[in-house]
Amino acid sequence: MGALLGLDTGREELLPARCLVGRSRACDLILAARDVSSQHAVVQWTGAVWELQDLGSRNGTAVGEHRLAFGERVPLRRGHQIRFGRQSGAFEFVDDAPPRPMAVHLDSGRIRVAAAGLLALPDDDPPELLLYPDGPDRWIGERHGELSEVGDRAVVLVRGEMWRVHLPTGGPGTWEEHSSDVTVADLLLRFSHSSNEEYVELVAFVGERRLDLQARAHHYPLLLLARARGRSAARRARGGAGLGAAGPAAGDAEDRAGAPQHQHPSQPLAARPGGRRRRGEAGRTAQGHEAAAARRVSDRDRPGVTPRSP
């Protein structure tokens, strides 16, 4: 994600999608130099590039040797050096990747960055508040099983501490996972459940990192999907050549009716695997009925023969 490196301090500043720079405590990057305006400039993500805009500061904003005019916007490239006023130290633009969801602790400045689309506060294990996207322009916060919508730059209270959340919105161009970041495909999921499977806990692992997603009602469908995927992988491992002349339709029939299925206690008996027939078995039964009917018709046509009862 986008970042500025303080050349005097050696400190890297991670950039939210819109980073307000100035002396005011309402700013995201707060500078103490007296010649910096209260709201001096803004660094923001356009959906394609990062750009810098001066907000009419008294002592100006410069990119290299170029001083920005009031309201002027300049696209930033890695290696650009930026100055806000004359007295504050210079910054180097060191990372041009798109912004990611993040939260900043208002007292300590500690930063939490989302992994695999999930922003967990205050820690991964276990989080009290879990934030995740619900479409391109909406974020949901889940706390103790209760859901609520959370806006960009909202301040949330978590275990008695205040955090400001920065949640990128505005379509697919606003937030993309960098190639080196975690994706869903990198996750290893571990399920734990009660004997009747009405209580399902989920823990996600990314390398050495552990994210406790706790017990949620929607973990049960994930458990069913994981089992179905495991069965499909096992069938592929046994070899797809076994379909032979039957072709994919026969394999598909076995998939739907013949493969073992998970049974949840709340499902009716009719939905259980034992209450179903394979397609092949149903076909053989129908053929048997047709053969019996043909024999009865044949017996009627033969003289002196009493038709057999079905």
Half-sphere exposure of 279 (CA within 13 A, CB side): 11
Quick: pLDDT tens for 108-144: 889 999 887 889 999 887 889 999 888 878 899 999 8
Q: What is the pLDDT of residues 169-227, one digit of tens each?
A: 764 444 444 444 556 667 788 878 777 777 777 777 776 666 767 677 777 888 888 88
Q: CA separation (Å) from 56 to 34, 68, 189? A: 16, 9, 50
Q: Residue with structure tokens 């390398």?
A: 207
CA–CA gap between residue 196 and residue 61 (Å, rounded): 64
Q: Within its chain, how far is the Cα of 82 from the centroid? A: 34
Least confident among 5-19, 84-98, 169-183, 206-220: 169-183
What is the C-alpha end-to-end distance of the chain, expressed in Å? Answer: 77
CB-CB contact of 206 with 182 (8 Å): yes
pLDDT digits (tens, 9 = 90+) for 224-283: 888 888 888 888 888 765 554 444 433 333 333 333 334 343 333 333 334 444 444 444
Residue 15: band (very low, low, confident or very high) from pLDDT cuts 50, 70, 90: very high
pLDDT value of position 239: 76
130, 137 in Cβ contact below 8 A? Answer: no
**Which pairs count as long-range contacts for 102-105, CB under 8 Å and 24+ apart, including other chains?**
102/1, 102/14, 102/16, 102/165, 102/166, 103/131, 103/156, 103/163, 103/164, 103/165, 103/166, 104/28, 104/163, 104/164, 104/166, 105/161, 105/162, 105/163
Q: Determine how many CB atoms are found less than 10 A away from the CB of residue 99.
A: 23
DSSP H or E run through 227: helix 219-238
* Position 17 pLDDT exceeds 80: yes
Do 17 and 44 touch, CB atoms closer than 8 A? yes
Q: Hey, what's the torsion of the CAs at 146, 102, 18, 29, to 10 degrees? A: 120
C-alpha dihedral sign at 22, 123, 219, 230: positive
User: Which pLDDT score, from 0 to 100, does residue 184 have?
Assistant: 66
pLDDT for res 162: 93
